[in-house]
Amino acid sequence: MTVICRLDDGPLRFNALRRAVNGITQRMLSITVRRLERDGLISRAVEPAVPPRVEYALTERGRSLHRVLAELVAWTEENLDEIRRDRERYDDAARAEELLAFPA
Amino acid sequence: MTVICRLDDGPLRFNALRRAVNGITQRMLSITVRRLERDGLISRAVEPAVPPRVEYALTERGRSLHRVLAELVAWTEENLDEIRRDRERYDDAARAEELLAFPA
């Protein structure tokens, strides 16, 4: 998901993509880009040079998936603070219930 | 995700929800509904009866998440056949490349 979001800003070469997805290992990024290419979500262009220059870009299908993923990210950003507050309320209520059931 | 989609059709009691999410264990469904309630995505109404009747329903926040998840499901349904075809093409090309590199 993160690779798709990073490529939405434009094509990137492998190492630039790796820097943009901080924390991902070389091996994990290689596996990920191969899967995304296999699914037709990204394309891989090879420039004949020594060593060959490889550039990754979103396909139209990749861009359409990015639009849906971006909505999920926006939903999360909009709701996360309220979710955190609800979690605190839920945990407080659960602790109160526990105290009632097992008074110290 | 599946629990949210099933509750979009209307409130359900625990066992009806378990039947609707086939394959989920009682324990896993209990953990899941507690998490969703804690995140404020579903509500839990208890009818005083013996044993107490518990009904789960989507909250407004749950419904708004469902709208985004439904788009992801729709995207998947729209693209899955093409993705499968692209995977076959990718695998065929990978096999052909391998044969060239390591002729039998």
pLDDT tens readout for residues A33-69: 999 999 999 999 998 888 888 999 999 999 999 999 9
**Token pair belonging to B73:** 């499901």
Residue B104 pLDDT class (50, 70, 90 cuts) = low
Q: What is the pLDDT of residues A68-80, one digit of tens each?
A: 999 999 999 999 9
Residue A40 touches chain B, beta carbons under 8 Å: yes
Task: Supply the pLDDT for residue A39.
Answer: 97
Q: Which has more confidence, B103 or A21?
A: A21
Identify the pLDDT of residue B29.
95
Residues of B in contact with A68 (CB under 8 A): 68, 71-72, 75
> Hey, what's the torsion of the CAs at B91, B97, B103, B104, to 10 degrees?
0
Of the options 1.10.10.10, 3.40.50.300, 3.30.930.10, 2.60.40.1180, the CATH number for the domain spanning A2-77: 1.10.10.10
As its CATH architecture, domain B2-75 has Orthogonal Bundle (1.10)
Rounded to the nearest integer, the mean pLDDT of chain A is 92
A4 in reach of chain B (CB within 8 A): no
What residues does A55 pair with on adjacent strands?
A13, A45
Please tell me which residue, A104 or A45, carries the higher pLDDT value: A45
- Segments making up each domain of chain B, as ranges: 2-75
Both tokens assigned to B57: 């329903």
Mind listing the pLDDT tens digit for each residue in B79-88? 999 999 999 9
What residue type is B94 in one-letter code?
A
**A80 membership: H or E segment, kind and range:** helix A60-101
Measured in angstroms, the CA of A23 and the nearest CA of chain B are apart by 26
Q: Is the pLDDT of residue B45 over 80?
A: yes
The ipTM (two decimal places) reads 0.79
